[in-house]
Amino acid sequence: MRRQSIWLKDSWGWVLKEKILKSESAGAGRLSALEVGCGPGFVMEIMKQFADVKGVDIDDDMVSACKSRGFDVSKGNAESLPFEDRSFDVSYCSFLLLWVKDPVKVASEMKRVSSRWIICLAEPDFGARIDYPDALSEISKRIIDGIKKDGGDPFIGRKLRMIFSRCGLKAEIGIHPGVWDIDKLRIEMEDEWRFINMTAVSDNGIPEKLKRSWMKSLEDGSLFQFNPIFYAIAEK
Protein backbone atom coordinates (compact mmCIF):
# COMPACT_ATOMS: atom_id res chain seq x y z
CA MET A 1 0.00 0.00 0.00
CA ARG A 2 2.84 2.37 0.72
CA ARG A 3 4.38 1.60 -2.70
CA GLN A 4 1.08 2.36 -4.39
CA SER A 5 0.71 5.68 -2.61
CA ILE A 6 4.26 6.68 -3.57
CA TRP A 7 3.76 5.79 -7.25
CA LEU A 8 0.39 7.49 -7.59
CA LYS A 9 0.55 10.52 -5.31
CA ASP A 10 1.36 12.98 -8.12
CA SER A 11 -1.37 11.57 -10.35
CA TRP A 12 -3.87 11.63 -7.48
CA GLY A 13 -2.94 15.24 -6.80
CA TRP A 14 -3.57 16.09 -10.45
CA VAL A 15 -6.96 14.37 -10.40
CA LEU A 16 -8.03 16.25 -7.31
CA LYS A 17 -6.72 19.66 -8.36
CA GLU A 18 -7.84 19.51 -11.99
CA LYS A 19 -11.10 17.62 -11.62
CA ILE A 20 -12.40 18.56 -8.20
CA LEU A 21 -10.86 21.69 -6.73
CA LYS A 22 -11.19 23.70 -9.93
CA SER A 23 -14.91 22.95 -9.92
CA GLU A 24 -15.38 24.26 -6.38
CA SER A 25 -16.20 27.94 -5.95
CA ALA A 26 -13.41 30.18 -4.72
CA GLY A 27 -13.49 30.85 -1.02
CA ALA A 28 -15.81 27.96 -0.28
CA GLY A 29 -13.42 26.57 2.32
CA ARG A 30 -11.80 23.18 2.62
CA LEU A 31 -13.67 20.13 1.48
CA SER A 32 -14.66 17.40 3.90
CA ALA A 33 -13.78 13.92 2.70
CA LEU A 34 -14.25 10.31 3.76
CA GLU A 35 -11.85 7.57 2.76
CA VAL A 36 -13.63 4.21 2.62
CA GLY A 37 -11.32 1.29 3.35
CA CYS A 38 -8.55 3.59 4.52
CA GLY A 39 -6.10 0.86 5.58
CA PRO A 40 -3.11 2.22 7.52
CA GLY A 41 -3.69 5.79 6.28
CA PHE A 42 -1.07 6.19 3.56
CA VAL A 43 -3.56 7.76 1.15
CA MET A 44 -5.05 9.93 3.89
CA GLU A 45 -1.56 11.33 4.41
CA ILE A 46 -1.62 12.58 0.81
CA MET A 47 -5.25 13.66 0.80
CA LYS A 48 -5.05 15.79 3.94
CA GLN A 49 -3.39 18.58 1.96
CA PHE A 50 -6.53 18.88 -0.16
CA ALA A 51 -9.34 18.23 2.33
CA ASP A 52 -10.31 17.57 5.93
CA VAL A 53 -10.24 13.79 5.86
CA LYS A 54 -11.87 11.12 7.95
CA GLY A 55 -11.51 7.38 7.40
CA VAL A 56 -13.37 4.15 7.91
CA ASP A 57 -12.05 0.58 7.82
CA ILE A 58 -13.37 -2.82 8.86
CA ASP A 59 -10.05 -3.97 10.33
CA ASP A 60 -9.27 -3.12 13.96
CA ASP A 61 -5.52 -3.08 13.32
CA MET A 62 -5.90 -0.60 10.46
CA VAL A 63 -8.10 1.65 12.58
CA SER A 64 -5.51 1.58 15.36
CA ALA A 65 -2.68 2.28 12.93
CA CYS A 66 -4.47 5.35 11.59
CA LYS A 67 -5.32 6.65 15.05
CA SER A 68 -1.69 6.26 16.11
CA ARG A 69 -0.82 8.62 13.26
CA GLY A 70 -3.39 11.18 14.38
CA PHE A 71 -6.16 10.46 11.88
CA ASP A 72 -9.88 10.48 12.69
CA VAL A 73 -10.91 6.94 11.75
CA SER A 74 -13.92 4.79 12.62
CA LYS A 75 -14.49 1.07 12.35
CA GLY A 76 -17.16 0.20 9.83
CA ASN A 77 -18.21 -1.93 6.88
CA ALA A 78 -17.94 -0.33 3.43
CA GLU A 79 -21.29 -1.89 2.47
CA SER A 80 -23.05 -0.17 5.39
CA LEU A 81 -21.18 3.00 6.27
CA PRO A 82 -21.76 4.38 9.80
CA PHE A 83 -22.51 7.93 8.65
CA GLU A 84 -25.60 9.96 7.85
CA ASP A 85 -26.63 10.87 4.31
CA ARG A 86 -24.60 13.67 2.73
CA SER A 87 -22.14 13.82 5.64
CA PHE A 88 -19.14 14.68 3.43
CA ASP A 89 -18.40 16.74 0.33
CA VAL A 90 -16.35 13.86 -1.08
CA SER A 91 -16.22 10.12 -0.53
CA TYR A 92 -13.37 8.18 -2.06
CA CYS A 93 -11.61 4.84 -2.05
CA SER A 94 -8.41 3.36 -3.41
CA PHE A 95 -7.59 -0.28 -4.23
CA LEU A 96 -10.73 -1.30 -2.36
CA LEU A 97 -13.33 -2.41 -4.88
CA LEU A 98 -11.26 -5.33 -6.16
CA TRP A 99 -11.50 -6.89 -2.66
CA VAL A 100 -15.15 -6.34 -1.71
CA LYS A 101 -17.98 -8.80 -2.31
CA ASP A 102 -20.39 -6.21 -3.71
CA PRO A 103 -18.65 -3.20 -5.28
CA VAL A 104 -21.98 -1.73 -6.44
CA LYS A 105 -23.23 -1.70 -2.86
CA VAL A 106 -20.02 -0.03 -1.70
CA ALA A 107 -20.25 2.63 -4.40
CA SER A 108 -23.92 3.18 -3.51
CA GLU A 109 -22.96 3.77 0.11
CA MET A 110 -20.24 6.18 -0.96
CA LYS A 111 -22.86 8.03 -3.00
CA ARG A 112 -25.24 8.14 -0.03
CA VAL A 113 -22.78 9.71 2.41
CA SER A 114 -21.45 12.24 -0.11
CA SER A 115 -23.11 15.53 -0.93
CA ARG A 116 -21.29 15.96 -4.23
CA TRP A 117 -18.27 13.91 -5.31
CA ILE A 118 -17.73 10.15 -5.43
CA ILE A 119 -14.22 9.11 -6.44
CA CYS A 120 -12.46 5.83 -6.99
CA LEU A 121 -8.84 6.97 -6.96
CA ALA A 122 -7.30 3.72 -8.16
CA GLU A 123 -8.35 0.23 -9.21
CA PRO A 124 -6.10 -2.10 -11.22
CA ASP A 125 -6.95 -4.32 -14.15
CA PHE A 126 -4.55 -7.25 -14.20
CA GLY A 127 -6.32 -8.70 -17.23
CA ALA A 128 -4.89 -5.83 -19.24
CA ARG A 129 -1.39 -6.12 -17.76
CA ILE A 130 1.43 -6.31 -20.30
CA ASP A 131 4.59 -8.28 -19.63
CA TYR A 132 6.94 -8.30 -22.62
CA PRO A 133 8.75 -10.19 -24.16
CA ASP A 134 5.94 -12.66 -24.74
CA ALA A 135 7.64 -15.37 -22.69
CA LEU A 136 6.83 -13.28 -19.61
CA SER A 137 3.05 -13.31 -20.16
CA GLU A 138 2.80 -16.16 -17.65
CA ILE A 139 3.43 -13.61 -14.89
CA SER A 140 0.10 -11.85 -15.36
CA LYS A 141 -1.76 -15.16 -15.63
CA ARG A 142 -0.35 -16.29 -12.30
CA ILE A 143 -1.17 -12.94 -10.65
CA ILE A 144 -4.75 -13.12 -11.92
CA ASP A 145 -5.15 -16.63 -10.54
CA GLY A 146 -3.66 -15.57 -7.21
CA ILE A 147 -6.02 -12.62 -6.78
CA LYS A 148 -9.01 -14.81 -7.65
CA LYS A 149 -7.86 -17.40 -5.14
CA ASP A 150 -7.73 -14.70 -2.45
CA GLY A 151 -11.29 -13.60 -3.26
CA GLY A 152 -10.49 -10.54 -5.34
CA ASP A 153 -11.53 -9.39 -8.80
CA PRO A 154 -8.42 -8.88 -10.97
CA PHE A 155 -10.54 -7.28 -13.72
CA ILE A 156 -12.20 -4.60 -11.57
CA GLY A 157 -10.64 -1.66 -13.44
CA ARG A 158 -12.65 -2.24 -16.62
CA LYS A 159 -15.85 -2.51 -14.56
CA LEU A 160 -15.75 0.94 -12.95
CA ARG A 161 -18.13 2.55 -15.46
CA MET A 162 -20.63 -0.28 -14.99
CA ILE A 163 -20.37 -0.08 -11.19
CA PHE A 164 -20.98 3.67 -11.10
CA SER A 165 -23.76 3.42 -13.68
CA ARG A 166 -25.63 0.89 -11.57
CA CYS A 167 -25.52 3.41 -8.74
CA GLY A 168 -27.11 6.03 -10.97
CA LEU A 169 -23.84 7.87 -11.46
CA LYS A 170 -22.26 9.04 -14.70
CA ALA A 171 -18.53 8.59 -14.13
CA GLU A 172 -15.52 10.01 -15.89
CA ILE A 173 -13.10 7.12 -16.29
CA GLY A 174 -9.40 7.69 -16.72
CA ILE A 175 -6.10 5.89 -16.40
CA HIS A 176 -3.05 6.88 -14.39
CA PRO A 177 0.33 7.15 -16.14
CA GLY A 178 2.27 4.01 -15.37
CA VAL A 179 4.88 2.95 -17.91
CA TRP A 180 8.17 2.54 -16.08
CA ASP A 181 11.41 3.12 -17.93
CA ILE A 182 14.30 0.68 -17.61
CA ASP A 183 15.94 2.64 -14.79
CA LYS A 184 12.70 2.63 -12.80
CA LEU A 185 12.30 -1.11 -13.40
CA ARG A 186 15.78 -1.67 -12.02
CA ILE A 187 14.98 0.38 -8.92
CA GLU A 188 11.70 -1.45 -8.36
CA MET A 189 13.04 -4.91 -9.22
CA GLU A 190 13.19 -6.39 -5.73
CA ASP A 191 9.85 -4.98 -4.60
CA GLU A 192 8.19 -6.03 -7.85
CA TRP A 193 9.33 -9.61 -7.48
CA ARG A 194 8.28 -9.59 -3.86
CA PHE A 195 4.78 -8.60 -5.05
CA ILE A 196 4.80 -11.28 -7.75
CA ASN A 197 5.88 -13.99 -5.33
CA MET A 198 3.29 -12.93 -2.76
CA THR A 199 0.41 -12.64 -5.22
CA ALA A 200 0.89 -15.17 -8.00
CA VAL A 201 -0.54 -18.68 -7.77
CA SER A 202 2.23 -21.25 -7.77
CA ASP A 203 2.65 -24.74 -6.36
CA ASN A 204 6.42 -24.58 -6.13
CA GLY A 205 7.19 -20.90 -6.34
CA ILE A 206 7.70 -18.84 -9.49
CA PRO A 207 9.75 -20.88 -11.97
CA GLU A 208 13.36 -19.80 -11.90
CA LYS A 209 13.38 -19.89 -15.69
CA LEU A 210 10.67 -17.20 -15.74
CA LYS A 211 12.59 -14.92 -13.41
CA ARG A 212 15.80 -15.45 -15.42
CA SER A 213 13.94 -14.41 -18.57
CA TRP A 214 12.68 -11.29 -16.79
CA MET A 215 16.19 -10.42 -15.61
CA LYS A 216 17.71 -11.03 -19.04
CA SER A 217 15.13 -8.73 -20.63
CA LEU A 218 15.90 -6.09 -18.03
CA GLU A 219 19.61 -6.35 -18.77
CA ASP A 220 19.24 -6.14 -22.55
CA GLY A 221 16.73 -3.28 -22.35
CA SER A 222 13.79 -5.10 -23.95
CA LEU A 223 11.66 -5.48 -20.81
CA PHE A 224 8.29 -3.74 -20.92
CA GLN A 225 5.83 -3.90 -18.08
CA PHE A 226 2.53 -2.08 -17.69
CA ASN A 227 -0.41 -2.64 -15.39
CA PRO A 228 -3.25 -0.16 -16.01
CA ILE A 229 -4.61 1.58 -12.93
CA PHE A 230 -7.95 3.29 -13.52
CA TYR A 231 -9.76 6.08 -11.70
CA ALA A 232 -13.43 7.09 -11.73
CA ILE A 233 -14.98 10.43 -10.77
CA ALA A 234 -18.69 11.16 -10.49
CA GLU A 235 -20.64 14.21 -9.38
CA LYS A 236 -24.11 13.97 -7.91
Mean pLDDT by 10-residue block, N- to C-terminus, for the chain (236 residues)?
69 78 64 95 89 96 95 97 97 96 98 96 95 95 94 98 98 91 93 91 78 96 96 94
- Residue 28 has what pLDDT? 61
Each domain of the chain, given as residue ranges in start order, spans 2-235
Sheet holding 171-175, edge to edge: 72-75, 51-57, 31-36, 88-94, 114-124, 229-235, 171-175
Q: Assign a CATH topology to domain 2-235.
A: Rossmann fold (3.40.50)
CA distance 150 to 16: 31
The pTM score is: 0.91
